[in-house]
Each structure stands twice: as structure tokens, then as C-alpha cells.
Amino acid sequence: AQTVTQSQPEMSVQEAETVTLSCTYDTSESNYYLFWYKQPPSRQMILVIRQEAYKQQNATENRFSVNFQKAAKSFSLKISDSQLGDTAMYFCAFMKSSDYKLSFGAGTTVTVRA
């Protein structure tokens, strides 16, 4: 079974600053995918960024980037130039390539202060 650990229940960041969310996972799979989802107060699940395990290059989507360390089984998310609209809960998720089932971490609540 896969486990995903997010060790930071809450993070607070000043607007325009940078915040990094940590995520580690445990798996015996060799091929898999990793995701960060954003869940605002509306509770919609919004995909922020994804990473295929076979790709060494870290994924980037505008102000969002990841630091993927496959050997360490670490997948952190960096939010640059934080905006008030980034306030949400962020979930790290692991997807098996065999059945595409997602396993989620416990989430990190990010609050961006004006």
C-alpha cells in the first residue's frame, strides 16, 4: 500500500512571498505519478501540478513548481509570489500507474496574509 505524508498541517505566508509545502511518500512501485491538488473553501478539488516519476525534470506551472527527489521519495511544492487566492488546503497525492488510484496526504492548510 502507498502512504503519503504531509508533515505540515498549517502554513502561513505573507502576500508576494514564497512558501514550500513538504510531501513524502512510500511505495514499492517503480512507475507512478504525483500530484498537488488545491481545495479552496468551496471544497472543489483543483489540480495544481503533476509529475511523472520517470521524468527527472521538475514540473513547473506558472508560480507553482515542485522539487521531486525520487530516491528520497520526496515531492515538495513551492508557491512563489503568493496571492490571496492561493489560500486553500493543499493535498499531495500519489497515483499508481497500474490502476490510477489516488492516495492522498492529510493536507496542508495555507493561509496567505495581506
Partner 1 sequence: EPEVTQTPSHQVTQMGQEVILRCVPISNHLYFYWYRQILGQKVEFLVSFYNNEISEKSEIFDDQFSVERPDGSNFTLKIRSTKLEDSAMYFCASLRGWDTLTGTEAFFGQGTRLTVV
Binding site for partner 1 (CB under 8 A): 33, 35, 42-45, 47, 50, 52, 91, 93, 95, 97, 99-107
Beta strands in the chain (DSSP E): 3-5, 10-14, 19-21, 24-26, 32-39, 46-52, 60-61, 64-69, 74-79, 88-96, 102-104, 108-113
Give the residue with the Cβ less far from partner 1, 35 or 68.
35
Q: Residue 99 corresponds to which amino acid?
A: D
- Give the Cα separation of 111 and 89 in Å (integer): 9
Minimum distance of partner 1 from residue 28's CB (angstroms): 17
- Closest CB to partner 1 among 33 and 64? 33
**Minimum CB distance to partner 1, residue 113 (Å):** 21
Smallest gap from residue 60 Cβ to partner 1 (A): 15
Minimum Å gap between C-beta 18 and partner 1 is 25
Q: Phi and psi for 84 in degrees, rounded to 5? A: -55, -35
